[in-house]
């Protein structure tokens, strides 16, 4: 009890100063980016519904969210009432007919309430980081692996598509370390063990392999997404590079949202007790509490007991135990520990 009181006293001092680090916390879920030809109010009003649609899809992870009658019937009204602020920036895309991006910021609580009232799942800000091994082969150009510093049209389009669906990605640096481990052929043949080994330095949650080629009919693409023991494969064609990038982005987002999005309720649906080992300092305790409280399925966290470096907590969930397990598997901050001798699940806190 003395240790618990000490921790709680220190926690009061730390709560306003600790900047908890999550696996990947997407910060622009409630912001839409729309290409526009001008900065006039007329054009801005014309694309408000398009911006709201983009945000609703991004937050829910559901590409068909507008099919819900409670949302579709109120789209025009919601676009006006939920938009909070706007700004413009250069589009920076070559040969783009729309020279500006209109950035629209929408009310986060209002968006969540709309989705909750419609019974649509919400995919929270903690999302899997995807390292992308992408090889592009275009006639009269050498095969190229997209890197973190690539500034060509393909790289920009891919990043914008992923941002449109709220998917955090990172391209490899392709420095000496990467070049010694990975070749274009490894991506073409989908050498998963080789690419997985090379991806370790990027601390990602998932890995995407893509091979894009061009012929007289357009573009062909083969993709493989690997996350843990799960794997998804897609083959697609498109008249333009934008077509295949848009399609694969939607496929990835829909797939991951089906795993991590949670239907939000006003009351907790599930409660269980959890024990966490390795919480040795007050700062560990505060980071653990902040981490758990920011997980989408978690409605509330209550401290029950501190014994040495073990912490026992009561967890209230808006969803299922499975949704909680999937959420914590992303950040690698909590690791499940085999605990056959006890009924309370045990996790290890990873500093």
Judge whether residue 333 has pLDDT over 70. yes
Verify that 207 and 282 share a domain, yes or no: no
Q: Which two tokens stand for residue 331?
A: 């950040």
Residue 170 lies in a domain: yes
Verify that 242 and 134 share a domain, yes or no: yes
- Please identify which residue in the block is written with the tokens 């519904």: 49
Verify that 245 and 317 share a domain, yes or no: no
> How large is the average pLDDT for residues 118-145?
91
Give the mean pLDDT of the chain. Answer: 87
Judge whether residue 6 has pLDDT over 60. no
DSSP H or E segment with residue 312: strand 310-317
Q: How far, in Å, CA of 130 to CA of 134, rounded?
A: 12
pLDDT of residue 4: 45
Verify that 42 and 153 share a domain, yes or no: no
Verify that 309 and 249 share a domain, yes or no: no
Residue 285 lies in a domain: yes
Task: Name the residue range of residue 285's domain.
Answer: 2-22+264-349
What 189-193 contacts at long range (C-beta under 8 Å, 24+ apart), as own/partner pairs, is 190/222, 190/224, 192/224, 192/226
Residue 335 lies in a domain: yes
pLDDT of residue 282: 87
Residue 55 lies in a domain: yes
pLDDT of residue 94: 61
pLDDT tens digit string along 246-282?
A: 999 999 999 999 988 988 877 667 888 999 999 988 8
Judge whether residue 73 has pLDDT over 60. yes
Write b or e for each residue in 13-29: b if 16 or more Cβ atoms lie within 10 A of its Cβ, otherwise e.
eeeeeeeeebbbebeeb
pTM: 0.80
pLDDT of residue 22: 38
pLDDT of residue 49: 96
pLDDT of residue 63: 92
pLDDT tens digit string along 42-53?
A: 999 999 999 999
Q: How far, in Å, CA of 25 to CA of 123, rounded?
A: 12
- Please identify which residue in the block is written with the tokens 């006639």: 139
Q: How far, in Å, CA of 91 to CA of 98, rounded?
A: 7
**Residue 19, CA atoms < 13 Å, CB-side half-sphere:** 1
pLDDT of residue 338: 82
Residue 125 lies in a domain: no
pLDDT tens digit string along 155-182?
A: 889 999 999 999 999 999 999 999 999 9
Residue 124 lies in a domain: no
Verify that 158 and 192 share a domain, yes or no: yes
Domain boundary among 213, 235, 260: 260
Residue 123 lies in a domain: no
Q: What share of the chain in percent tops pLDDT 70?
A: 91
Judge whether residue 339 has pLDDT over 80. no
Verify that 239 and 272 share a domain, yes or no: no
pLDDT of residue 324: 86
Task: Measure CA 171 to chain center.
Answer: 15
pLDDT of residue 329: 82
Q: Of 261, 263, 271, 266, which is closest to residue 317 (Cα–Cα)? A: 271
Verify that 227 and 339 share a domain, yes or no: no
Verify that 250 and 147 share a domain, yes or no: yes
For residue 85, give every residue at least 6 positions away whose Cβ sits within 8 Å of its Cβ, in sequence order, or none. Answer: 104, 105
Q: Of 211, 184, 181, which is closest to residue 196 (Cα–Cα)? A: 181
pLDDT of residue 351: 73
Residue 122 lies in a domain: no
Distance between first and last Cα of the chain: 24
Q: Let me know: does 225 contact 232? Beta carbons within 8 Å.
A: yes
Verify that 256 and 268 share a domain, yes or no: no
Judge whether residue 217 has pLDDT over 80. yes
Judge whether residue 200 has pLDDT over 90. yes
Verify that 179 and 224 share a domain, yes or no: yes
Verify that 193 and 211 share a domain, yes or no: yes
Q: How far, in Å, CA of 143 to CA of 255, rounded?
A: 29
Judge whether residue 316 has pLDDT over 60. yes
Number of domains making up the chain: 3
Domain boundary among 64, 94, 117: 117
Q: How far, in Å, CA of 335 to CA of 345, rounded?
A: 11
Domain boundary among 260, 275, 310: 260
Residue of 228 and 59 predicted with greater confidence = 59
Q: How far, in Å, CA of 6 to CA of 289, rounded?
A: 16
């Amino acid at each position: 009890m003395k240790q618990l009181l000490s921790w709680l006293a220190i926690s009061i001092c730390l709560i306003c100063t600790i900047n908890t680090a999550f696996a990947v916390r997407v910060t622009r879920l409630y912001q839409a980016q729309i290409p526009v030809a001008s900065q006039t109010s007329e054009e801005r009003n014309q694309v408000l519904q398009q911006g709201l649609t983009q945000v609703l899809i991004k937050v829910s992870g559901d590409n068909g969210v507008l099919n819900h009658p409670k949302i579709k019937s109120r789209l025009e009204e919601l676009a006006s009432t939920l938009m909070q602020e706007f700004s413009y920036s250069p589009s920076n895309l070559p040969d783009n007919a729309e020279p500006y991006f209109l950035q629209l910021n929408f009310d986060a609580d209002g968006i969540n309430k709309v989705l909750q009232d419609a019974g649509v799942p919400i995919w929270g800000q903690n999302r899997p980081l995807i390292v992308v091994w992408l090889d592009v082969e275009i006639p009269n150009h050498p095969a190229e692996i997209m890197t973190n510093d690539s500034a060509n049209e393909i790289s920009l389009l891919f990043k914008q598509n992923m941002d449109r669906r709220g998917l955090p990605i990172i391209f490899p640096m392709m420095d000496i370390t990467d070049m010694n481990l990975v070749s274009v052929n490894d991506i073409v043949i989908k050498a998963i063990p080789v690419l997985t080994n090379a991806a370790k330095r990027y601390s990602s949650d998932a890995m995407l392999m893509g091979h894009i080629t061009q012929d007289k009919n357009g573009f062909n693409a083969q993709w493989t997404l690997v996350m843990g023991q799960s794997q998804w494969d897609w083959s697609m064609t498109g008249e333009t590079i934008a077509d295949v990038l848009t399609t694969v982005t939607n496929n990835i987002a829909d797939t991951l949202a089906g795993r991590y999005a949670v239907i939000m309720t006003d009351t907790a649906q599930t409660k269980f007790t959890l024990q966490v080992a390795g919480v040795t300092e007050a700062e560990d305790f505060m980071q653990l509490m902040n981490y758990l409280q920011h997980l989408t399925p978690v409605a509330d966290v209550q401290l029950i007991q501190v014994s040495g470096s073990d912490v026992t907590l009561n967890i209230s969930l808006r969803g299922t135990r499975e949704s909680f397990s999937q959420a914590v598997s992303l950040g690698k901050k909590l690791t499940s520990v085999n605990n056959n001798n006890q009924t309370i699940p045990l996790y290890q806190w990873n500093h």
